Structure 1
Amino acid sequence: MAKTHQVRVARVYDPPSGGAARVLVDRLWPRGLTKEAAALDEWCKRVAPSNELRHWYGHDPQRFDAFSARYLEELREPERAEALDGLRALCRRRDVTLLTATTTPDISHAAVLARLLAGGG
């Protein structure tokens, strides 16, 4: 079984720390942030949830479990699954920090992705 490195979640506005690959997983570019300040290794917008799902969820903590289940379903769609496979490959090579612009990263799609990637699932 291939080794999976550590996967973390952080806000894209946080300064880089450690040697982990910085991967933005939002569909839209974060407001007020330059590409230089973001210091990204990759922008993987194809793994972001659909606009419909994102708007339905609205970061309502009561909906997080339902959001997670629906998002995992979306990740089975061919384009998203291909992008997810790319993230899995990156996680086999090095530590990864999944970045999002949300103010609540612990209940975001990035948190769902991190659990999925860390579990190798």
Structure 2
Amino acid sequence: MQIKIKRVYESPSKDDGKRILVDRLRPRGISKESGKIDLWLKEISPSNELRNWYGHDLEHWVEFKKRYWAELRSNPEGLEKLKDSLDEKVITFLYSSKNLEYNNAIALMEFLSK
């Protein structure tokens, strides 16, 4: 299985495979249909408290990942739902952050690789 990440605002592609939104909030101006979102897993996204604390401040990135991964580990139901959704050859995690290098989809992909 291959996992890719992509901003939800980028045009969908046939190469995306199953498209899974991994944000807690619905992206502005994007519907499930227009975003070609197959599944929305807000259960495995960072909590509102963590998201607000992080605020995309790069000085918080390492600590954000530690806290987010702790949230994931303490959420067996959400992880099971995630695991059950990884049933295609290609999966694309969709996120809305403007930051292409430091976002929850990147952190989630790193978590799954460990």
TM-score over 0.5 (shorter chain): yes
What's the secondary structure of 2:23's corresponding residue?
Answer: coil
Percent of matched pairs sharing the same residue: 40
Mapped to 2, the partners of 1:19 and 1:69 lie a distance apart of 28
Match of 1:27 among 21, 24, 27: 24
Partner of 1:104: 99
Tell me the amino acid that sits aligned with residue 64 of structure 2. Answer: F
Structure 1 residue 23, shift from structure 2 partner:
0.3
Partner of 2:47: 50
User: Does 2:9 match 1:13?
Assistant: yes
State the TM-score, normalizing by the size of structure 2: 0.89
What's the secondary structure of 1:34's corresponding residue?
Answer: coil
Structure 1 residue 61, shift from structure 2 partner:
1.2
Q: Is the 8 A contact 2:19 2:93 kept in 1?
A: yes
What's the secondary structure of 1:115's corresponding residue?
Answer: helix
Mapped to 1, the partners of 2:32 and 2:20 lie a distance apart of 12
Number of aligned residue pairs = 113
Structure 2: segments with no counterpart, 5+ residues: none
- Give structure 1 regions of 4+ aligned residues with deviation exceeding 6 angstroms: none
Partner of 1:63: 60
Structure 1: segments with no counterpart, 5+ residues: none
Mapped to 2, the partners of 1:96 and 1:52 lie a distance apart of 27
Indicate how the Cα distance of structure 1 residues 94 and 86 shifts in structure 2: closer, same or farther if over 3 A, else same: farther
Structure 1 residue 9, shift from structure 2 partner:
1.2
